[in-house]
Amino acid sequence: MKNHFAGCIVKQRRYADQEWRDIRQRVPIAWTACTLRGRRPWFLCAVYANGRYCGRRVAILYAGGDLFACRHCYRLAYASQSESPRDRNLSQAQKIRMRLGGSPSLFDPFPDKPPRMHWRTYERLAARGLAAEGRSLELMRAYLDRPAQSRRRR
């Protein structure tokens, strides 16, 4: 059961010596059934990378230049740019959630121990994952809390 909606994301982004401006891109959204809370939305990556349409279902899209793309396409296009600590911690946290059978979204509860996994393994992964989530949320909060003046060049 999959319905596709056309969504729209607007994000302001300041380029080196330019004013803030809006970036608009229609992003398809897919809804999937979810055991606990009905349905949840995913973004579909609508980018052509290496001449092929991506179409991956992802929880997070990254803004690269004027386009929103999934991590995979973003990496292809911006392989030379190093990831920020915020992205690094987020992707580490998401990888661990998915390895534990959960969704990559930090808004979902942390996944329980998978049935076939040893408790020690789970505890190690959970400690590492939760630490990465904490760091990533802290960096995100610090970024969002920055006063407007420091984000906008005078």
CB of 71 to Zn ion, least distance (A): 8
Among 44, 73, 106, 132, binds Zn ion (CB under 5 A): 73
Return d(Cα 26, Cα 122) in angstroms, integer. Answer: 39
The two three-digit tokens of residue 93, written as one number: 């946290």
Q: Is 76 in the site for Zn ion (CB under 5 A)?
A: no
State the minimum distance, in angstroms, from the CB of residue 44 to Zn ion.
9
Give the integer Cα–Cα distance in Å for 1 and 14: 39
Residues 94-153 that bind Zn ion (CB under 5 A): none
44 binds Zn ion (CB under 5 A): no
Residue with tokens 């300041």, as numbered in its chain: 14
Beta bridge partners of 41: 31
Please say which residue, 45 or 126, places its beta carbon nearer to Zn ion.
45
Work out whether 30 is an interface residue with Zn ion (CB under 5 A): no
Closest by CA position to 105, among listed 20, 49, 43? 43
Q: Please work out the total of residues on this chain that contact Zn ion, with binding judged by CB under 5 A.
A: 6
Would you say 6 and 25 are in contact if contact means Cβ atoms under 8 Å apart? no
Hey, what are 151's tokens?
């984000």
Applying CB under 5 A, among 70, 96, 100, 126 the residue interacting with Zn ion is: 70
Give the interface with Zn ion as residue ranges (CB under 5 A): 45, 47, 54, 56, 70, 73
